[in-house]
Structure 1
């Protein structure tokens, strides 16, 4: 099954796009992309910082009220839509998945930042007042030096570090590189195997650790069990497929490797609180 949720490419939405990155004022970006209000995916990283405006935006079916100084981050593949109200302003940055890879010794370095975890609860927050002036000045300079790719990379990394420092450190892995790498590998394995592997012990075996170790890590960092992390990823994919009109419930159940529709419906209702049909009617 090939997902028919539109995948938006960088060149489609970005003006002044140069060698993998675009930095633009929000007002101009929205004016050029005013029809892009339907659910869609990106094949690039996307961050948006509101300095004024209202309304809502939705990432992977989690809806957030827009408030000034709120920032959100999106990783490739996440589903996104918005409904903005009033005069919007701020900054938008789009950059390709490999934008930092040849620049840094550690290719997956940006995944160390909590807001690039792919978990929606980590991706949306308000920038603290003491950092706002610094970050806005950097965004302005980035627009002026759009051709200097090294300056863009260094500046964005500096912004990421400023934002990471203001996060609740109790939810971040701080300096525990081993556990962070372990958790990231677990999430990456889920992304590749959630259709066929559903048990924590299967992922623990791939990570060469015990299921108890994996569960303890997930509870400490994510506040939930390893099994729940796996189930949530399956449910997310089910939701993504349900917003596509062309797919029947039986097709989605088959795509997600459920034996029959009734088991899929029971699994979905237990996790979401409504049947797949009810979810589809609500979101279409």
Structure 2
């Protein structure tokens, strides 16, 4: 199979159409006008987040629909599929930055991995900022807008963006961290990273448990305590999500997708998909 066709990229958005830099920040209303021809399922090859200060309609991330509300913020990582259906009254901020934006700036190249909302996990992607955090969050984004307009040094802009990410982390993750142990948190994050790396080839929770040096029952208990799902469900959901992303690309037939996801045959893949998604791959593709 031609490898270039295995990733269903409908469109790869330019981070900055004018300056070809590694970060782009814009007023949301202006951004939507500039990119009104992108209202179809597509992927980015950079980090992307939006903070709505007002608006209505919905946006769709990895085939999940979310209604917009004031001070909702969503984060997307490279590879996620999304589109939107706005009603025209949106306002807020949109920020895109490249995968390696902080690479030469921070000693720890894996620093962003500490933030759950930058890991592409659906349970952490979208939230509404509590009222007490809103003024400071928008103030930092306004500073980034001004710094970009005034062409201030890039490291200054990086510092502001990192400040925003840290502030959002404080605003959204405090309660969760207070109710979890560092050990379990590390195990759960490590399991999610292993699933992301190996879900095509490794489909059994016991194999992941062995790699984490814990029992399958312990792994299940940790997963359920965090998101209410077993380890097997997390693995299956990741496989189905990738299948849906591949189904967006109509250049791939079902057999090629089954092969890409390392199923023994087309029939087994179809049964697996229908059991998890409630419809066959062909039916899902027709819905798109």
TM over 0.5: yes
Distance in 1 (CA, whole Å) between partners of 2:197 and 2:143 is 39
Distance in 2 (CA, whole Å) between partners of 1:222 and 1:113 is 16
* Cα offset, 1:73, TM superposition: 0.2
Pick closer, same or farther for the CA change 1:143–1:15 going to 2, 3 Å.
farther
Contact 1:56/1:82 (CA < 8 Å) preserved in 2? yes
Are 2:261 and 1:256 equivalent residues in the alignment?
Answer: yes
* Cα offset, 1:74, TM superposition: 0.3
Contact 2:42/2:83 (CA < 8 Å) preserved in 1? yes
Show the counterpart of 2:205: 200
2:9 to 5, 10, 29: 5
1:244 to 249, 255, 260: 249
Pick closer, same or farther for the CA change 1:175–1:15 going to 2, 3 Å.
farther
1:55 to 52, 57, 61: 57
Show the counterpart of 1:280: 285
Secondary structure, counterpart of 2:93 in structure 1:
strand
Distance in 1 (CA, whole Å) between partners of 2:179 and 2:97 is 25
Show the counterpart of 1:226: 231
Q: What CA deviation, in whole Å up to 9, does each residue of 1:137-177 have, x standing for no partner? A: 11111111123333323322332233233336554477844
Contact 2:8/2:247 (CA < 8 Å) preserved in 1? no
Show the counterpart of 2:78: 76
Show the counterpart of 1:124: 126
Secondary structure, counterpart of 1:277 in structure 2:
helix
- Structure 1: state its 5+ residue gaps: none
Distance in 2 (CA, whole Å) between partners of 1:69 and 1:181 is 30
The number of residue pairs the alignment matches comes to 281
Q: What CA deviation, in whole Å up to 9, does each residue of 1:67-124 have, x standing for no partner? A: 2211100011111111111232211111111222333333222222221231122111
Distance in 1 (CA, whole Å) between partners of 2:11 and 2:35 is 14
Show the counterpart of 2:44: 42
2:159 to 135, 150, 154: 154
